[in-house]
């Protein structure tokens, strides 16, 4: 399998404290650049025995460029059919701009979907704020029915991604439990904010939190309700 990630924009309706992009440029990827990138990807995938291509869309907030995503997938589908290539898709979203049209489109093309959410409202809103400084948890909750409908219609689990930072690391186990118990997600992807230096004391505390997560996982597995730490 050959994988290509397309950063379709540097536009976002949030200003997360730990965003790897920093200050957004508000630039959008042009279709011309995207097509050139995809042409290279197709040339490479044709060298692979399985002739499989994975296209991953990210931003910014990728779904703020939804018309571009639609056009690119249409282009990819035509090229894949012409070249006898099997294509899979994935996308990452902050969950605040989902609607019915996006949902149906994601289901149609069998996307793997990653949703960024850091835990409960208090934990999430510490770092994932809107442009006006308001926490974004409630905006995601308003769209939660779309994500549950996506899982039902696509028969795919959403991967939720939460970031462990220096202002929430002591809540790591609590956050994982919230995502699994309260929001009923089955795939939880944890990452650590490495943009700051961590002290040995902080890492020791974090290790204790991961031990709690492991014990929680074992408990869930014993009753046949385990969750997973990766998507594929």
User: What are the beta bridge partners of residue 94?
Assistant: none
Cα–Cα distance measured from residue 135 to residue 117, given in angstroms and rounded to the nearest whole number: 11
Contact between residue 108 and residue 124 where contact means Cβ atoms under 8 Å apart: no
Each residue's pLDDT, cut to its tens digit, for the chain (232 residues) gives 999 999 999 999 999 999 877 776 789 999 999 999 999 999 999 999 899 999 999 999 999 999 999 999 999 999 999 999 999 999 999 999 999 999 999 999 999 999 999 999 999 999 999 999 999 999 999 999 999 999 999 999 999 999 999 999 999 999 999 999 999 999 999 999 998 899 999 999 999 999 999 999 999 999 999 898 755 4
Neighbouring C-beta atoms of residue 63, cutoff 10 Å: 24
Cα–Cα distance measured from residue 175 to residue 172, given in angstroms and rounded to the nearest whole number: 5
Give the predicted TM-score (pTM) of the model: 0.93
Rg of the chain's alpha carbons, rounded to an integer? 19
Cα–Cα distance measured from residue 151 to residue 192, given in angstroms and rounded to the nearest whole number: 27
Q: Are strands 52-58 and 187-192 parallel, antiparallel or unpaired?
A: unpaired
Cα–Cα distance measured from residue 173 to residue 66, given in angstroms and rounded to the nearest whole number: 34
pLDDT at 26: 86
Eight-class DSSP state of 44: H
Contact between residue 175 and residue 191 where contact means Cβ atoms under 8 Å apart: no
Cα–Cα distance measured from residue 169 to residue 210, given in angstroms and rounded to the nearest whole number: 10
Contact between residue 164 and residue 192 where contact means Cβ atoms under 8 Å apart: yes
3-state secondary structure of 56: strand
């Amino acid at each position: 399998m050959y994988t290509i990630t397309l950063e379709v924009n540097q536009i976002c309706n949030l200003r997360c404290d730990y965003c790897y992009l920093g200050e957004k440029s508000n630039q959008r990827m042009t279709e011309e650049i995207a097509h050139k990138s995809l042409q290279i990807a197709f040339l490479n995938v044709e060298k692979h025995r399985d002739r499989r291509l994975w296209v991953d869309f990210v931003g910014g907030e990728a779904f703020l460029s939804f018309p571009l995503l639609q056009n690119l997938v249409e282009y990819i589908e035509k090229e894949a059919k012409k070249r006898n290539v099997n294509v899979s898709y994935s996308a990452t979203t902050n969950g605040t701009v989902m609607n019915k049209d996006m949902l149906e489109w994601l289901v149609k093309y069998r996307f793997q979907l990653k949703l960024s959410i850091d835990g409960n409202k208090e934990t999430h809103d510490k770092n994932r704020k809107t442009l006006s400084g308001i926490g974004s948890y409630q905006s995601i909750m308003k769209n939660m029915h779309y994500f549950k409908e996506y899982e039902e219609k696509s028969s795919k689990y959403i991967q939720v991604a939460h970031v462990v930072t220096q202002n929430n690391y002591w809540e790591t186990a609590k956050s994982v439990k919230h995502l699994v118990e309260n929001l009923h997600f089955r795939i939880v992807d944890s990452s650590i904010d490495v943009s700051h230096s961590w002290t040995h004391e902080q890492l020791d505390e974090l290790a204790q939190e991961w031990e709690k997560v492991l014990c929680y996982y074992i408990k869930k597995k014993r009753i046949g309700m385990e969750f997973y730490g990766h998507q594929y």
